[in-house]
């Protein structure tokens, strides 16, 4: 594996320079930390200095990636976690006395707050009265996101964007507001929705010494090229 990666890296360096897209909307995203913006600008300049072509390509669906992702992932959570009922799989409460209490107590005791939240919201968006308004619509938006992302990657080798809008936050700092936590995923869920590979790389540190990450998104089934270029990127 090591020799194979080395050969890919050597080929990447000897071959043509890469065409890399960055999304200008990410640099003007609400709540973006100034140090993250500076990191991105430095990275773009460094890539250009190395001879790569870096181009701004508009991505008009950035504001929709988080709600689309969380509608779909919560629906999937609700469906997949239904089997963990204390009978088929998972934790079984020792306080249960009959079938009904086995279900209720096992799921109440065995799941944490975030898991319960996702099950409840997922059940809501999959319910008969709201399926078309939420889940079906999110699937349609997902298709638009995937098609636009693939369109960008037809003309470019990679997409460059921040890993998160700000530096790493302290453990437990934002757990009281789950929406703030979800919004921190604004740059990482695009690849998941499009079904393509992505990698987050350590790129810099803030003045306080907190890590900042940068992300590369690659073509479908292009993991080898993505890993090879990531290694080259880290050595710049």
DSSP sequence for 32-89 = --HHHHHHHHHHHHHHHHTT-EEEE---TTHHHHHHHHHHHHHHHHHHHGGG-SSSSS
Please write the tens of the pLDDT for every residue from 24-79: 999 998 889 999 999 999 999 999 999 999 999 999 999 999 999 999 999 999 99
**How would residue 12 be classed by pLDDT, with cut points 50, 70 and 90?**
very low
Give yes or no for residue 196 having a pLDDT over 70.
yes
- Delimit the domains of the chain by residue range: 1-57+156-223, 65-140
Alpha helices in 127-188 (DSSP H): 137-155, 178-183
Instruction: Compute, in degrees rounded to 10, the torsion defined by CA atoms 163, 169, 171, 174.
Output: -100
Instruction: State the pLDDT at residue 171.
Output: 80
The predicted model scores a pTM of: 0.87
Give yes or no for residue 132 having a pLDDT over 70.
yes
- 178-192 in b/e burial notation, b at 16+ Cβ within 10 A? eeeebbbbbbbbbbb
Q: Which of 113-117, 146-150, 175-179, 196-200 has the lowest mean pLDDT?
A: 175-179
Average pLDDT over residues 5-13: 51
What percentage of the chain reaches a pLDDT higher than 90? 81
CA 54 vs CA 73, 88, 161, 222: distances in Å: 32, 52, 12, 19
Instruction: State the pLDDT at residue 16.
Output: 73
Please state the φ and ψ torsions of residue 69, each to the nearest 5 degrees.
Answer: -60, -45
Instruction: State the pLDDT at residue 2.
Output: 55
Contact yes or no for 26/152 (Cβ under 8 A): no
Instruction: Compute, in degrees rounded to 10, the torsion defined by CA atoms 96, 101, 103, 104.
Output: -110
By DSSP bridging, strand 158-162 and strand 19-22 are: parallel
Strand order across the 198-205 sheet: 53-56, 19-22, 158-162, 211-217, 198-205
Give yes or no for residue 14 having a pLDDT over 70.
no
Query: What is the 8-class DSSP label of residue 185?
Result: T
CA distance 163 to 36: 9
Q: Identify the residue with better confidence: 80 or 5.
A: 80
């Amino acid at each position: 594996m090591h020799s194979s990666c080395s050969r890919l890296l050597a080929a990447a360096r000897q071959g043509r320079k890469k065409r890399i897209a960055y999304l200008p909307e990410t640099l003007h995203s609400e709540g973006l930390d100034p140090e993250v913006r500076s990191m991105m600008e430095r990275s773009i300049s460094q890539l250009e200095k190395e001879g790569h072509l870096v181009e701004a390509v508009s991505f008009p669906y950035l504001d929709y990636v988080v709600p689309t992702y969380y509608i779909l992932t919560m629906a999937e959570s609700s469906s997949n976690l239904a089997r963990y009922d204390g009978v088929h799989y998972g934790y079984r409460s020792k306080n249960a006395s009959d079938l009904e209490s086995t279900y209720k107590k096992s799921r109440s005791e065995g799941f944490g707050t975030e898991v319960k939240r996702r099950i409840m919201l997922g059940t809501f968006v999959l319910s008969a009265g709201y399926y078309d308004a939420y889940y079906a619509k999110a699937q349609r938006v997902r298709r638009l996101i995937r098609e636009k992302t693939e369109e960008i990657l037809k003309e470019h080798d990679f997409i460059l964007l921040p890993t998160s809008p700000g530096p790493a936050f302290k453990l437990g700092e934002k757990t009281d507001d789950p929406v703030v936590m979800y919004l921190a995923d604004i740059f990482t869920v695009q690849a998941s929705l499009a079904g393509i590979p992505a990698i987050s790389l350590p790129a810099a540190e803030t003045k306080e010494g907190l890590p900042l990450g940068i992300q590369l998104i690659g073509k479908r089934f292009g993991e080898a090229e993505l890993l090879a270029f990531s290694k080259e990127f880290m050595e710049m």
